Protein backbone atom coordinates (compact mmCIF):
# COMPACT_ATOMS: atom_id res chain seq x y z
CA UNK A 1 0.00 0.00 0.00
CA UNK A 2 1.45 3.40 -0.94
CA UNK A 3 2.27 6.26 1.42
CA UNK A 4 -0.46 8.41 -0.17
CA UNK A 5 -3.09 5.84 0.89
CA UNK A 6 -2.93 7.18 4.46
CA UNK A 7 -5.56 9.88 4.99
CA UNK A 8 -5.24 12.71 7.53
CA UNK A 9 -8.70 13.59 8.86
CA UNK A 10 -9.82 16.12 11.46
CA UNK A 11 -12.40 14.42 13.70
CA UNK A 12 -14.68 15.28 16.59
CA UNK A 13 -16.25 13.20 19.33
CA UNK A 14 -12.99 11.92 20.81
CA UNK A 15 -10.71 13.59 23.30
CA UNK A 16 -6.97 12.93 23.10
CA UNK A 17 -4.59 14.45 25.61
CA UNK A 18 -1.23 15.80 24.52
CA UNK A 19 1.47 13.09 24.41
CA UNK A 20 -1.14 10.35 23.97
CA UNK A 21 -2.15 8.38 20.88
CA UNK A 22 -5.62 6.86 20.68
CA UNK A 23 -5.85 3.66 18.63
CA UNK A 24 -9.44 3.14 17.43
CA UNK A 25 -10.97 -0.31 17.75
CA UNK A 26 -13.85 0.69 15.47
CA UNK A 27 -14.40 3.69 13.19
CA UNK A 28 -17.48 5.20 11.61
CA UNK A 29 -16.26 6.22 8.16
CA UNK A 30 -18.55 8.26 5.84
CA UNK A 31 -17.02 6.50 2.81
CA UNK A 32 -16.99 2.86 3.95
CA UNK A 33 -19.42 2.86 6.88
CA UNK A 34 -18.48 1.20 10.18
CA UNK A 35 -14.92 -0.16 9.93
CA UNK A 36 -13.35 -2.82 12.13
CA UNK A 37 -9.80 -2.18 13.33
CA UNK A 38 -8.57 -5.74 13.90
CA UNK A 39 -4.94 -4.62 13.66
CA UNK A 40 -5.34 -2.21 16.60
CA UNK A 41 -3.04 -4.22 18.87
CA UNK A 42 -0.35 -4.24 16.19
CA UNK A 43 -0.60 -0.46 15.81
CA UNK A 44 -0.52 -0.02 19.60
CA UNK A 45 2.55 -2.25 19.89
CA UNK A 46 4.49 -0.18 17.37
CA UNK A 47 3.48 3.07 19.06
CA UNK A 48 4.52 1.69 22.44
CA UNK A 49 7.91 0.79 20.96
CA UNK A 50 8.25 4.45 19.92
CA UNK A 51 7.64 5.57 23.50
CA UNK A 52 4.06 6.78 23.01
CA UNK A 53 1.29 6.40 25.59
CA UNK A 54 -1.52 4.46 23.95
CA UNK A 55 -5.23 4.20 24.68
CA UNK A 56 -7.86 2.15 22.83
CA UNK A 57 -11.25 3.69 22.06
CA UNK A 58 -14.15 3.48 19.64
CA UNK A 59 -14.57 6.34 17.17
CA UNK A 60 -18.26 6.50 16.21
CA UNK A 61 -17.65 8.98 13.40
CA UNK A 62 -14.72 10.50 11.58
CA UNK A 63 -16.90 12.99 9.72
CA UNK A 64 -16.23 16.33 11.42
CA UNK A 65 -18.11 19.56 10.67
CA UNK A 66 -15.90 22.22 9.08
CA UNK A 67 -13.81 24.04 11.65
CA UNK A 68 -14.86 21.81 14.53
CA UNK A 69 -12.54 18.99 15.52
CA UNK A 70 -11.04 17.40 18.62
CA UNK A 71 -8.29 15.21 17.14
CA UNK A 72 -6.30 14.42 14.04
CA UNK A 73 -6.83 10.91 12.68
CA UNK A 74 -4.42 9.03 10.43
CA UNK A 75 -6.36 6.38 8.54
CA UNK A 76 -5.63 3.68 5.98
CA UNK A 77 -8.04 0.99 4.79
CA UNK A 78 -7.61 -2.49 3.36
CA UNK A 79 -10.01 -5.14 2.03
CA UNK A 80 -11.05 -8.16 4.08
CA UNK A 81 -11.59 -11.78 3.06
CA UNK A 82 -15.35 -11.43 3.59
CA UNK A 83 -15.61 -8.42 1.28
CA UNK A 84 -15.74 -5.78 4.01
CA UNK A 85 -13.14 -3.10 4.70
CA UNK A 86 -10.84 -2.79 7.73
CA UNK A 87 -9.04 0.26 9.09
CA UNK A 88 -5.53 0.87 10.32
CA UNK A 89 -5.63 4.09 12.32
CA UNK A 90 -4.33 6.31 15.12
CA UNK A 91 -5.53 9.65 16.49
CA UNK A 92 -3.60 12.44 18.23
CA UNK A 93 -4.32 15.77 19.89
CA UNK A 94 -4.30 18.78 17.51
CA UNK A 95 -0.91 20.51 17.53
CA UNK A 96 0.92 17.54 19.15
CA UNK A 97 3.68 17.31 16.54
CA UNK A 98 5.69 14.53 18.17
CA UNK A 99 2.69 12.23 18.63
CA UNK A 100 1.45 13.09 15.14
CA UNK A 101 4.77 12.12 13.58
CA UNK A 102 4.79 8.80 15.44
CA UNK A 103 1.14 8.05 14.63
CA UNK A 104 1.48 8.80 10.93
CA UNK A 105 4.70 6.76 10.67
CA UNK A 106 3.15 3.72 12.39
CA UNK A 107 -0.03 3.81 10.28
CA UNK A 108 2.09 4.10 7.14
CA UNK A 109 4.30 1.17 8.20
CA UNK A 110 1.34 -1.11 8.86
CA UNK A 111 -0.47 0.06 5.75
CA UNK A 112 2.63 -0.86 3.74
CA UNK A 113 2.65 -4.29 5.42
CA UNK A 114 -0.97 -5.03 4.46
CA UNK A 115 -1.38 -7.69 1.76
CA UNK A 116 -3.30 -10.81 0.77
CA UNK A 117 -1.92 -13.70 2.82
CA UNK A 118 -2.48 -17.28 3.93
CA UNK A 119 -2.26 -18.33 7.57
CA UNK A 120 -1.33 -21.96 8.31
CA UNK A 121 -2.33 -23.03 11.82
CA UNK A 122 -0.63 -26.01 13.45
CA UNK A 123 -3.56 -26.75 15.74
CA UNK A 124 -3.74 -27.11 19.51
CA UNK A 125 -0.60 -28.06 21.47
CA UNK A 126 -2.68 -30.05 23.94
CA UNK A 127 -2.74 -33.84 23.58
CA UNK A 128 -5.62 -36.08 24.62
CA UNK A 129 -3.86 -36.94 27.89
CA UNK A 130 -3.60 -33.29 28.92
CA UNK A 131 -7.23 -32.67 27.95
CA UNK A 132 -8.25 -35.77 29.94
CA UNK A 133 -6.56 -34.32 33.05
CA UNK A 134 -8.09 -30.89 32.42
CA UNK A 135 -11.55 -32.41 32.16
CA UNK A 136 -11.08 -34.40 35.37
CA UNK A 137 -9.91 -31.29 37.25
CA UNK A 138 -12.71 -29.12 35.90
CA UNK A 139 -15.38 -31.70 36.77
CA UNK A 140 -14.00 -32.18 40.29
CA UNK A 141 -13.82 -28.43 40.92
CA UNK A 142 -17.35 -27.93 39.60
CA UNK A 143 -18.89 -30.79 41.57
CA UNK A 144 -17.29 -29.76 44.86
CA UNK A 145 -17.60 -25.98 44.49
CA UNK A 146 -19.48 -24.63 47.50
CA UNK A 147 -19.50 -27.98 49.34
CA UNK A 148 -16.71 -27.06 51.75
CA UNK A 149 -14.38 -29.64 50.25
CA UNK A 150 -11.11 -28.11 49.07
CA UNK A 151 -9.95 -29.27 45.63
CA UNK A 152 -6.19 -29.63 45.15
CA UNK A 153 -4.94 -30.05 41.57
CA UNK A 154 -1.44 -31.48 41.81
CA UNK A 155 1.36 -29.92 39.75
CA UNK A 156 2.95 -30.15 37.27
CA UNK A 157 -0.21 -28.89 35.63
CA UNK A 158 -0.10 -29.51 31.88
CA UNK A 159 -3.50 -28.06 31.06
CA UNK A 160 -4.71 -25.22 28.84
CA UNK A 161 -4.46 -21.77 30.52
CA UNK A 162 -8.19 -21.25 30.00
CA UNK A 163 -8.83 -24.30 32.20
CA UNK A 164 -6.38 -23.06 34.83
CA UNK A 165 -8.30 -19.76 35.02
CA UNK A 166 -11.60 -21.62 35.27
CA UNK A 167 -10.26 -23.79 38.10
CA UNK A 168 -9.16 -20.71 40.02
CA UNK A 169 -12.63 -19.18 39.64
CA UNK A 170 -14.15 -22.38 41.03
CA UNK A 171 -11.87 -22.21 44.06
CA UNK A 172 -9.53 -25.07 43.15
CA UNK A 173 -5.91 -24.81 44.33
CA UNK A 174 -2.89 -25.68 42.19
CA UNK A 175 -0.66 -27.54 44.65
CA UNK A 176 2.91 -28.82 44.46
CA UNK A 177 2.49 -31.24 47.37
CA UNK A 178 -0.07 -32.80 49.71
CA UNK A 179 1.09 -30.77 52.71
CA UNK A 180 -2.15 -28.79 53.04
CA UNK A 181 -4.53 -31.66 52.26
CA UNK A 182 -7.05 -32.36 55.01
CA UNK A 183 -9.31 -35.43 55.42
CA UNK A 184 -12.17 -35.22 52.95
CA UNK A 185 -10.34 -32.87 50.58
CA UNK A 186 -10.25 -33.72 46.88
CA UNK A 187 -6.90 -34.38 45.16
CA UNK A 188 -6.74 -34.43 41.35
CA UNK A 189 -3.71 -36.24 39.96
CA UNK A 190 -2.01 -34.60 36.93
CA UNK A 191 -1.70 -36.06 33.42
CA UNK A 192 1.94 -36.94 34.06
CA UNK A 193 0.92 -39.15 36.97
CA UNK A 194 2.43 -39.33 40.44
CA UNK A 195 4.67 -41.72 42.31
CA UNK A 196 3.36 -44.68 44.27
CA UNK A 197 4.43 -42.84 47.44
CA UNK A 198 2.23 -39.83 46.63
CA UNK A 199 -0.78 -42.07 46.05
CA UNK A 200 -0.16 -43.78 49.39
CA UNK A 201 0.22 -40.42 51.14
CA UNK A 202 -3.11 -39.20 49.70
CA UNK A 203 -4.80 -42.34 51.05
CA UNK A 204 -3.24 -41.86 54.50
CA UNK A 205 -4.53 -38.29 54.61
CA UNK A 206 -8.07 -39.44 53.87
CA UNK A 207 -8.29 -37.54 50.58
CA UNK A 208 -10.72 -38.26 47.78
CA UNK A 209 -8.46 -39.02 44.80
CA UNK A 210 -9.51 -38.13 41.24
CA UNK A 211 -7.12 -39.76 38.80
CA UNK A 212 -6.31 -37.45 35.89
CA UNK A 213 -3.33 -39.54 34.80
CA UNK A 214 -3.03 -39.88 31.04
CA UNK A 215 -4.21 -43.41 30.15
CA UNK A 216 -0.97 -44.01 28.23
CA UNK A 217 1.16 -42.94 31.19
CA UNK A 218 -0.94 -45.19 33.41
CA UNK A 219 -0.30 -48.04 30.96
CA UNK A 220 3.45 -47.40 31.13
CA UNK A 221 3.29 -47.46 34.93
CA UNK A 222 1.52 -50.83 34.83
CA UNK A 223 4.12 -52.19 32.40
CA UNK A 224 6.94 -51.11 34.74
CA UNK A 225 5.17 -52.74 37.68
CA UNK A 226 4.75 -56.04 35.77
CA UNK A 227 8.44 -56.09 34.87
CA UNK A 228 9.38 -55.52 38.51
CA UNK A 229 7.09 -58.35 39.61
CA UNK A 230 9.04 -60.68 37.30
CA UNK A 231 12.31 -59.29 38.73
CA UNK A 232 13.37 -58.13 35.27
CA UNK A 233 15.02 -54.86 34.26
CA UNK A 234 13.42 -52.01 32.33
CA UNK A 235 15.27 -49.48 30.20
CA UNK A 236 13.02 -46.42 30.16
CA UNK A 237 13.71 -44.25 27.10
CA UNK A 238 12.99 -40.78 28.34
CA UNK A 239 14.41 -37.50 29.58
CA UNK A 240 15.14 -37.36 33.35
CA UNK A 241 13.49 -33.92 33.45
CA UNK A 242 10.19 -35.25 32.07
CA UNK A 243 7.51 -35.10 34.77
CA UNK A 244 6.20 -38.60 34.07
CA UNK A 245 9.67 -40.21 34.28
CA UNK A 246 9.68 -40.30 38.08
CA UNK A 247 6.07 -41.50 38.19
CA UNK A 248 6.82 -44.46 35.92
CA UNK A 249 10.15 -45.31 37.54
CA UNK A 250 8.56 -45.27 41.00
CA UNK A 251 6.63 -48.43 40.10
CA UNK A 252 9.92 -50.34 40.00
CA UNK A 253 12.63 -48.14 41.56
CA UNK A 254 15.27 -50.91 41.63
CA UNK A 255 14.42 -52.25 38.20
CA UNK A 256 14.38 -49.12 36.02
CA UNK A 257 17.23 -47.33 34.26
CA UNK A 258 16.48 -44.09 32.41
CA UNK A 259 18.32 -43.68 29.09
CA UNK A 260 18.05 -40.35 27.26
CA UNK A 261 20.53 -40.78 24.38
CA UNK A 262 22.18 -43.48 22.22
CA UNK A 263 25.50 -42.76 23.97
CA UNK A 264 23.94 -43.53 27.36
CA UNK A 265 23.30 -47.13 26.27
CA UNK A 266 27.06 -47.72 26.43
CA UNK A 267 27.00 -47.21 30.21
CA UNK A 268 24.42 -49.93 30.84
CA UNK A 269 25.58 -52.92 32.88
CA UNK A 270 23.38 -55.83 31.82
CA UNK A 271 24.45 -59.41 32.42
CA UNK A 272 21.51 -61.15 30.75
CA UNK A 273 19.79 -59.22 27.94
CA UNK A 274 16.99 -61.79 27.95
CA UNK A 275 15.88 -60.34 31.27
CA UNK A 276 15.69 -56.76 29.98
CA UNK A 277 12.91 -54.87 28.23
CA UNK A 278 12.74 -51.29 27.00
CA UNK A 279 9.86 -48.83 27.00
CA UNK A 280 9.46 -45.55 25.13
CA UNK A 281 7.91 -43.15 27.59
CA UNK A 282 4.62 -41.54 26.53
CA UNK A 283 5.38 -37.95 25.60
CA UNK A 284 8.60 -38.82 23.76
CA UNK A 285 8.39 -38.75 19.97
CA UNK A 286 9.03 -42.07 18.25
CA UNK A 287 11.56 -40.35 15.99
CA UNK A 288 13.55 -39.28 19.07
CA UNK A 289 13.43 -42.76 20.60
CA UNK A 290 14.33 -44.72 17.46
CA UNK A 291 18.13 -44.04 17.56
CA UNK A 292 18.24 -45.08 21.21
CA UNK A 293 16.36 -48.30 20.48
CA UNK A 294 18.76 -49.09 17.61
CA UNK A 295 21.78 -48.51 19.86
CA UNK A 296 20.22 -50.68 22.57
CA UNK A 297 19.52 -53.53 20.17
CA UNK A 298 23.04 -53.31 18.74
CA UNK A 299 24.47 -53.99 22.21
CA UNK A 300 21.81 -56.43 23.35
CA UNK A 301 20.21 -58.25 20.38
CA UNK A 302 17.86 -60.20 22.68
CA UNK A 303 16.33 -57.13 24.31
CA UNK A 304 12.58 -56.76 23.78
CA UNK A 305 10.11 -53.92 23.89
CA UNK A 306 7.79 -53.83 26.88
CA UNK A 307 4.10 -53.96 26.05
CA UNK A 308 2.23 -50.95 27.44
CA UNK A 309 -1.48 -50.34 27.05
CA UNK A 310 -0.94 -48.38 23.84
CA UNK A 311 1.73 -46.42 22.01
CA UNK A 312 1.69 -42.62 22.27
CA UNK A 313 1.92 -40.98 18.85
CA UNK A 314 0.87 -37.48 19.97
CA UNK A 315 4.45 -36.10 20.19
CA UNK A 316 5.29 -37.45 16.72
CA UNK A 317 2.05 -36.09 15.26
CA UNK A 318 2.69 -32.69 16.80
CA UNK A 319 6.31 -32.55 15.61
CA UNK A 320 5.25 -33.61 12.12
CA UNK A 321 2.49 -31.01 12.05
CA UNK A 322 4.83 -28.21 13.11
CA UNK A 323 7.47 -29.23 10.55
CA UNK A 324 4.84 -29.46 7.79
CA UNK A 325 3.37 -26.05 8.61
CA UNK A 326 6.81 -24.44 8.80
CA UNK A 327 7.87 -26.05 5.52
CA UNK A 328 4.88 -24.51 3.76
CA UNK A 329 5.40 -21.04 5.25
CA UNK A 330 7.56 -18.02 4.53
CA UNK A 331 7.59 -17.17 8.23
CA UNK A 332 6.81 -19.32 11.27
CA UNK A 333 5.41 -17.67 14.38
CA UNK A 334 5.76 -19.73 17.57
CA UNK A 335 3.43 -18.43 20.28
CA UNK A 336 4.63 -18.71 23.86
CA UNK A 337 7.18 -17.76 26.50
CA UNK A 338 10.61 -17.67 24.78
CA UNK A 339 12.25 -19.16 27.87
CA UNK A 340 9.86 -22.12 28.19
CA UNK A 341 11.22 -25.58 27.32
CA UNK A 342 8.21 -26.39 25.14
CA UNK A 343 8.64 -23.16 23.16
CA UNK A 344 12.28 -23.99 22.49
CA UNK A 345 11.33 -27.49 21.37
CA UNK A 346 8.67 -26.19 18.97
CA UNK A 347 11.16 -23.66 17.57
CA UNK A 348 13.67 -26.45 16.94
CA UNK A 349 11.10 -28.57 15.14
CA UNK A 350 10.09 -25.60 12.97
CA UNK A 351 13.69 -24.58 12.18
CA UNK A 352 14.39 -28.08 10.87
CA UNK A 353 12.38 -27.01 7.83
CA UNK A 354 14.76 -24.14 7.09
CA UNK A 355 12.00 -21.55 7.62
CA UNK A 356 12.67 -18.39 9.62
CA UNK A 357 11.12 -18.70 13.09
CA UNK A 358 9.99 -15.89 15.38
CA UNK A 359 8.78 -16.33 18.98
CA UNK A 360 5.71 -14.24 19.85
CA UNK A 361 4.84 -13.82 23.54
CA UNK A 362 2.20 -11.15 22.85
CA UNK A 363 0.56 -9.66 19.77
CA UNK A 364 2.65 -6.49 20.09
CA UNK A 365 5.79 -8.54 19.38
CA UNK A 366 4.79 -8.71 15.70
CA UNK A 367 6.36 -5.88 13.68
CA UNK A 368 5.82 -4.62 10.11
CA UNK A 369 9.38 -5.64 9.20
CA UNK A 370 8.61 -9.27 10.05
CA UNK A 371 5.84 -9.37 7.44
CA UNK A 372 7.71 -7.65 4.62
CA UNK A 373 7.49 -9.86 1.54
CA UNK A 374 5.70 -12.60 3.50
CA UNK A 375 2.74 -14.30 1.83
CA UNK A 376 2.27 -17.42 3.97
CA UNK A 377 2.54 -17.27 7.76
CA UNK A 378 2.72 -20.41 9.87
CA UNK A 379 1.52 -20.34 13.49
CA UNK A 380 2.20 -22.93 16.19
CA UNK A 381 1.27 -22.63 19.86
CA UNK A 382 3.53 -23.61 22.72
CA UNK A 383 1.89 -24.90 25.89
CA UNK A 384 3.29 -21.74 27.54
CA UNK A 385 1.25 -19.41 25.30
CA UNK A 386 -1.07 -17.02 27.13
CA UNK A 387 -4.76 -17.80 27.05
CA UNK A 388 -6.35 -16.56 23.84
CA UNK A 389 -3.08 -15.51 22.21
CA UNK A 390 -3.63 -17.57 19.05
CA UNK A 391 -7.06 -16.00 18.50
CA UNK A 392 -5.62 -12.53 19.11
CA UNK A 393 -2.83 -13.08 16.57
CA UNK A 394 -5.30 -14.38 13.98
CA UNK A 395 -7.56 -11.37 14.56
CA UNK A 396 -4.70 -8.88 14.31
CA UNK A 397 -3.30 -10.36 11.09
CA UNK A 398 -6.78 -10.40 9.57
CA UNK A 399 -6.79 -6.60 9.88
CA UNK A 400 -3.92 -6.32 7.39
CA UNK A 401 -5.78 -7.44 4.28
CA UNK A 402 -7.41 -10.55 2.89
CA UNK A 403 -6.42 -13.53 5.03
CA UNK A 404 -7.17 -17.18 4.23
CA UNK A 405 -6.90 -19.47 7.25
CA UNK A 406 -5.87 -23.11 6.81
CA UNK A 407 -5.64 -25.56 9.71
CA UNK A 408 -3.23 -28.46 9.32
CA UNK A 409 -2.80 -31.44 11.65
CA UNK A 410 -1.08 -34.76 11.12
CA UNK A 411 -2.76 -37.68 12.85
CA UNK A 412 -1.69 -41.27 13.31
CA UNK A 413 -4.50 -43.80 13.10
CA UNK A 414 -4.17 -47.28 14.51
CA UNK A 415 -6.06 -50.14 12.89
CA UNK A 416 -6.14 -53.89 13.25
CA UNK A 417 -4.76 -55.84 10.33
CA UNK A 418 -7.31 -58.08 8.63
CA UNK A 419 -5.82 -61.33 7.35
CA UNK A 420 -7.40 -63.08 4.37
Taking the C-alpha atoms of residue 342 and residue 384, their distance in angstroms, rounded to an integer, is 7
Given this model, what pLDDT does residue 161 score? 82
Residue 3: pLDDT band by 50, 70, 90 thresholds? Answer: very low
Whether the full predicted model's pTM is greater than 0.75, yes or no, is yes
Angle, to 10 degrees, between the axis of helix 215-229 and the axis of helix 128-144? 100
pLDDT value of residue 2: 41
Fold of 128-215: Rossmann fold (3.40.50)
Angle at CA of residue 80, ends 76 and 81, nearest 5°: 165
Give dist(CA 104, CA 230) in Å, integer: 75
Residue 1's pLDDT is 44
pLDDT score of 310 more than 70: no
The CATH fold of domain 314-407: Cobalt-precorrin-4 Transmethylase; domain 1 (3.40.1010)
- Checking 237-240 for CB contacts under 8 A at 24+ apart, the result is 237/278, 237/279, 237/280, 237/281, 237/284, 237/289, 237/292, 237/293, 238/280, 238/281, 238/283, 238/284, 239/284
CATH architecture assigned to 227-305: 3-Layer(aba) Sandwich (3.40)
Convert the pLDDT of each residue in 333-391 to its tens digit. 999 999 998 999 999 999 999 999 999 999 999 999 999 999 999 999 999 999 899 99
Distance CA 150, CA 321 (A): 40
At 113-140, the pLDDT tens digits run 999 999 999 988 988 888 888 899 999 9
Q: Do the domains 314-407 and 227-305 match in fold?
A: yes
The domain limits of the chain are 3-114, 128-215, 227-305, 314-407
| Helix, strand, coil share of the chain (percent; to 5) | 35, 25, 40
Length of the chain in terms of residues written: 420
Are the C-beta atoms of 44 and 115 separated by less than 8 Å? no
Cα–Cα distance measured from residue 180 to residue 170, given in angstroms and rounded to the nearest whole number: 18
Percent of the chain's residues with pLDDT above 70 = 95
CA distances from 68 to 18, 65, 361 (A): 18, 6, 42
CA distance 14 to 16: 7
* Nearest residue to 402 (alpha-carbon basis) of 90, 122, 38: 38
Note whether 260 and 236 are within 8 A (CB): no
Amino acid sequence: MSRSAVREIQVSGIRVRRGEVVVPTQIGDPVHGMLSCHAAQLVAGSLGAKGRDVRFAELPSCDSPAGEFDATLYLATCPQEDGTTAAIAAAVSPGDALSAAAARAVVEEWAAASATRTLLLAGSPWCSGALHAASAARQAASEHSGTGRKVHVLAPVAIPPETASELAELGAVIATSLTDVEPGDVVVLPAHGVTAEVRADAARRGAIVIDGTCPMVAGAQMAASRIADRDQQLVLISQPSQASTVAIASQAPRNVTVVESPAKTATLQISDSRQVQYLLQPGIAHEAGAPIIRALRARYPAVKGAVAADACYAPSDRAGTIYSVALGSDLMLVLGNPDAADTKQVCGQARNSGTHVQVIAKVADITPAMLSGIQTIGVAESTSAQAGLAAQVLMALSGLGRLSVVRRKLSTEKSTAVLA
